[in-house]
Amino acid sequence: MRSPSTDSSRCAAFKVPMSSVPAADAAAPAIARRNRLVINLLLVSAFVVILNETIMSVAIPPLMESLDVTAAAAQWVTAAFLLTMAVVIPMTGFMLQRMHTRAIFLLAMSLFSFGTLAAALAPGLELLVVARVIQASGTAIMLPLLMTTVMTLVPAETRGKTMGNITLVISVAPAIGPVISGLILNYLHWRWLFVLVLPIALGSLWLGWRRIENVTTPREAPLDVASVVLSVFAFGGIVYGLSLLGVPPVPGQPPAWAPLGAGVVAMIVFVQRQLKLLETGSALLDLRVFTSRNFTVSLVLFAILMLVLLGTIIVLPIYLQNVLGISTLQTGLLLLPGGLLMGRLGQRAGRWYDRVGPAKLVIPGVVIVTAVLWAMTLLGTQTRVEYILAGHVVMSVGFALLFTPLFTVSLSSVRPDLYSHGSAVLGSLQQVAGAAGVALFVALMSAQRARLAAAGTAEIEALTGGVRAAFLCGAILALAAVACALFVRKPPAPALPAAH
């Protein structure tokens, strides 16, 4: 017969405080509401800052006239923004580890809001460029913050749905940016592009200050200053060098190979240093994310898609305006349905991903994009606008099936403690691949156009031939993307805590 002391000791050993269970159940809805609030605030803020990234795309001619500057000088309003994004994003992995959610959100939106105000008041081009750099510093922080927060707060089984909302933001904002810009510039001064954005940015900042809570736990991570310097030269040099390719040389401007070569050398040294700093845990960008085969394959596929997408975004409007002769506003309106559809389907693709995994979405998506690119190699001087609209809408469907699953698969394939670095790598690659796509498509278009013009071909025919050459390159690259898509796998579910 067991003694009372033995029974009581066993009961004590396995005793669970009953009051803790209802307390946890009561706290769960409050935590869920807090998480939804944080994610929704980040989504709205990300929409505002990404919208600003493309809203200046059609404002160069008014800037030239208003500030009495050349086209090459006015382009720095956009170039400085993109360069700053390329430089700051690699550092966000470190920042997200060191700072609370609330602090980093307020920093990002404060920088963006101050930059927007400075741009609206800028008396000349120099201060306008400085203001755009400040804006870009806030923008560069926001998307990695959003992705890292989603990966941290959202369970693996429902991440696709939330990532679909991110796809909605990053698809719709760039799509409507040029349209909004065209409408504003038809009636108002270019400064209104910033004046109208400022209240929205300040509203997001105020809401964040009042309502956002800390949802992550920062940890000590030493800052390696040498890595910061190398990162600036590596990512900045590569993006700047790529942006110069295919562009007519300007007096006083370095040849494209100079910053590009310096950036490649700095990148090699940067990578070597990050690998060495892994031993002490002080890497600015933790490259252990590449030990996941699924992350690496998804990243390669994402890079090809961004290259093709950004190249298309640049070359297709050139074709529509300079060959088919439609206006800037008409071009924006023509491309708007595809952008809106991409965002809407991106949301649905997230739900589909949660049910069926990535393969049934990624493979059809990349096949659709590839087919449309091959169709675009047949564009001519008399191609009907309706066909262009249909092709762009179909291509947008393909991209919608691709981006949400790739965002989810890539970041879900790395360890939770590396989410911030995975987001930083994804954002950095987006900038580099986008710059490479623009450079490649424009260089091929310009080279083929010059060759045909030298052979006596009419100007419009020569430009059309250049556009076809650019899309042929994109179609060939898309075939490589089809091969990559075959190797994308759904990450395994995270292990449950061991029972005790």
Domain ranges of the chain: 28-220, 224-283, 291-492
Displacement of CA 376 from its chain's centroid (Å): 25
Residues with Cβ < 8 Å from 365, sequence gap 6 or more? Answer: 397, 398, 399, 400, 401, 402, 405, 485
Exposure string (b/e) for 278-310, b if CB count within 10 Å is 16 or more?
A: eeeebbbbbbbbeebebbebbbbbbbbbbbbbb
Other beta carbons within 10 angstroms of residue 186's beta carbon come to 9
In the numeric block, the tokens 């006015």 are attached to: 74
Give the span between the Cα atoms of 193 and 126, in whole angstroms. Answer: 18
Report the pLDDT value the prediction gives residue 144, as an integer from 0 to 100: 84
How confident is the model at residue 367, as a pLDDT?
A: 96
Within 10 angstroms of residue 360's Cβ, the number of other Cβ atoms is: 14
Q: What is the DSSP letter of 357?
A: -
- Whether the Cβ atoms of residue 359 and residue 341 lie closer than 8 Å to each other: no
Copy the structure tokens of residue 233. Answer: 């030269």
pLDDT of residue 369: 94
The closest of 465, 436, 73 to 245, measured between CA atoms, is 436
CATH number of 291-492: 1.20.1250.20
Paired tokens of 435: 């710059």
Q: What string of pLDDT tens digits covers the 500 residues of the chain?
A: 444 444 444 344 434 344 434 444 445 676 677 777 788 888 888 888 888 777 776 677 778 788 888 766 777 787 788 788 888 888 887 787 788 888 888 999 999 999 999 999 998 888 999 999 999 899 888 888 888 888 878 777 777 777 777 777 776 777 677 777 777 877 888 899 899 889 989 998 998 888 777 766 677 767 788 888 888 888 888 888 877 775 666 666 677 788 889 989 999 999 999 888 887 777 888 888 898 999 999 999 988 988 888 888 878 888 888 899 888 778 878 888 888 888 788 878 888 888 888 889 999 999 999 999 999 999 999 999 999 999 999 999 999 899 888 888 888 888 888 888 888 888 888 778 877 887 788 888 888 888 999 988 888 999 999 999 999 999 999 999 999 999 988 887 654 444 33
Helix (H) or strand (E) holding 33: helix 20-55
Instruction: Report helix, strand or coil for 199.
Output: helix
pLDDT of res. 495: 45
- Residue 87 has what pLDDT? 83
Long-range contact pairs involving 463-466 (C-beta distance under 8 Å, separation at least 24):
463/318, 463/319, 463/322, 463/323, 464/319, 464/323, 464/379, 464/380, 464/381
Contact 243, 258 (CB under 8 A): no
Residue 333: C-alpha distances to residues 28, 60, 179, 387, 428 (Å): 45, 19, 6, 15, 30
Angle between helical axes of 293-322 and 459-485 (0-180°, round to 10): 160
User: What single-letter DSSP state applies at residue 451?
Assistant: H
CATH fold of the domain at 28-220: Growth Hormone; Chain: A; (1.20.1250)
> For residue 481, what pLDDT is reported?
93
Give the Cβ contact number of residue 402 at 10 Å: 30
Which residue's structure tokens are 């006239």?
65
Q: Reduced to 3 states, what is the DSSP secondary structure of residue 1?
A: coil
What is the pTM assigned to this prediction? 0.76
43 is written with which tokens?
Answer: 């989504």
